[in-house]
């Protein structure tokens, strides 16, 4: 299955600033997903990163706040913009493991704290 | 109604016992279902997936799927302290996204 390298692993940021999170996959994948996990909560899908087209955002998430890039089939970035303490979460990228009905692999996550 | 409902626990079991986790889902068209294990401070790790009615066994883990009743469960036999984690139920939607339940925190008492 695919191996994902995600960075940074953690960061502490000032409110009002932006942070860009990177995910590098060791194989080409059509779809890549970005999730948020707020403290003590489950995973919520932010958006689907599509190569060569705009990302598709879930309800409650907007491009201005979470711009996504997908320049090729092995790489994607998620930016958390104009951060507030409410953005403190773990952010994870995910890709399919391969089979159509198979599972998805997650990156190691980025633990973001906004102060 | 949330897409995936999971009994949020927490669940505490003695070492060697069976831990039973349950999930129900609302979309009858859902095809595949997953159980992820997440240790504190770590990312989710896939432990089982199932897409056919019935049981699927892998070591000490058994996933059960009943599409007519729209539930999926996970049994952990001979529970070990290393099984202490949060278990997340998920399904794959028609557009290939994963929808997660709230998670069940399991503690195995030595």
Q: Is residue A89 very low, low, confident or very high in pLDDT (cuts 50, 70, 90)?
A: very high
Q: Does B49 touch chain A (CB under 8 A)?
A: yes
pLDDT at position A100 is 59
Say yes or no to pLDDT of A99 above 70.
no
Name the phi and psi angles at B93, rounded to 5: -80, 175
Q: Which of A31, A101, A107 lies nearest to residue B43, judging by beta carbons?
A: A107
DSSP code string of B54-101: EEEEETTEEEEEETTTTEEEEEE-S--GGG-EEEEEEEE-TTS-EEE-
- In chain B, the residue whose alpha carbon lies closest to the alpha carbon of A32 is B97
pLDDT at position B82 is 97
Above pLDDT 70, what percent of chain A? 97
pLDDT at position A64 is 97
Say yes or no to pLDDT of A101 above 60.
no
Q: Which of B34, B43, B103 lies nearest to residue A103, judging by beta carbons?
A: B34
Q: Distance, in angstroms, between A81 CA and closest chain B CA? A: 23
Q: Is residue B1 very low, low, confident or very high in pLDDT (cuts 50, 70, 90)?
A: low
Of A103, A106, A96, which is closest to residue A30 (Cα–Cα)? A96
pLDDT at position A21 is 98
From chain A, the residues in CB contact with B93 under 8 A are none
For residue B8, the SS3 value is coil
Is residue A92 packed enough to be buried (19+ CB in 10 Å), middle (13-18) or exposed (0-12)? Answer: buried
User: Distance (Å, rounded) from C-alpha B45 to C-alpha A1?
Assistant: 12
Q: Which of A41, A44, A106 lies nearest to residue B44, judging by beta carbons?
A: A106
Whether residue B47 contacts residue B33, with contact meaning beta carbons closer than 8 Å, is answered with: no
With an 8 Å Cβ cutoff, are A97 and B101 in contact? no
Q: Is residue B2 very low, low, confident or very high in pLDDT (cuts 50, 70, 90)?
A: low
With an 8 Å Cβ cutoff, are A45 and B97 in contact? yes
The larger pLDDT score, comparing residue A45 to residue B30, is at A45
Q: Does B43 touch chain A (CB under 8 A)?
A: yes
Say yes or no to pLDDT of B30 above 90.
no
> B5-9, B23-27, B76-80, B90-94 — which one is most confidently predicted on average?
B76-80
Interface of A with B (CB under 8 A): 31, 33, 41-45, 48, 92, 94, 96-97, 101-109
Instruction: Find the Cα–Cα–Cα–Cα dihedral B27, A33, B96, A58, rounded to 10°.
Output: 50
- pLDDT tens-digit readout, B31-64: 899 999 999 999 999 999 999 999 999 999 999 9
pLDDT at position A93 is 98
Residues 10-29 of B with CB under 8 A from A: none
Whether residue A93 contacts residue A32, with contact meaning beta carbons closer than 8 Å, is answered with: yes
Q: Does B100 touch chain A (CB under 8 A)?
A: yes
With an 8 Å Cβ cutoff, are A33 and B97 in contact? yes
- pLDDT tens-digit readout, A36-80: 999 989 999 999 998 888 899 999 999 999 999 999 999 999 999
The larger pLDDT score, comparing residue B26 to residue A99, is at B26
Angle at B30 between CA A76 and CA A55, to 5 degrees: 20
pLDDT at position B100 is 95
Q: What's the residue count for chain B?
A: 110
User: Distance (Å, rounded) from C-alpha A25 to C-alpha A76?
Assistant: 9
User: Distance (Å, rounded) from C-alpha A56 to C-alpha A68?
Assistant: 9
**Given CA atoms B5, B39, B49, A8 in this order, what sign does their dihedral have?**
positive
The larger pLDDT score, comparing residue A76 to residue A31, is at A76
- In chain B, the residue whose alpha carbon lies closest to the alpha carbon of A41 is B102
């Amino acid at each position: 299955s695919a191996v994902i390298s995600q960075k940074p692993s953690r960061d502490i940021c000032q409110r009002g600033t932006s942070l860009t999170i990177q995910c590098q996959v060791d194989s080409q994948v059509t779809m890549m997903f970005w999730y948020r996990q707020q403290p003590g909560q489950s995973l919520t899908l932010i958006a689907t990163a599509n190569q060569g087209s705009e990302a598709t955002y879930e309800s409650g998430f907007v491009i201005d706040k979470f711009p996504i890039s997908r320049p090729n089939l092995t790489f994607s970035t998620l930016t958390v913009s104009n951060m507030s303490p409410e953005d403190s979460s773990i952010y994870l990228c995910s890709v399919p493991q391969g089979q159509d009905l198979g599972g998805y692999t997650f990156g190691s996550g980025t633990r973001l704290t906004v102060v | 109604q949330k897409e995936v409902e999971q009994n949020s626990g927490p669940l505490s079991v003695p070492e060697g016992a069976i831990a039973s986790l349950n999930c129900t889902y609302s979309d009858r068209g859902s095809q595949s279902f997953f159980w992820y294990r997440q240790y504190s401070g770590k990312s989710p790790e896939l432990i089982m997936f199932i897409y056919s009615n019935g049981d699927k066994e892998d070591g000490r883990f058994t996933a059960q799927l009943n599409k007519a009743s729209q539930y999926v469960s996970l049994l952990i036999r001979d529970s070990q302290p290393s099984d202490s984690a949060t278990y997340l139920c998920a399904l794959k939607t028609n557009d290939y996204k994963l929808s997660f339940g709230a998670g069940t925190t399991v503690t195995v008492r030595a």
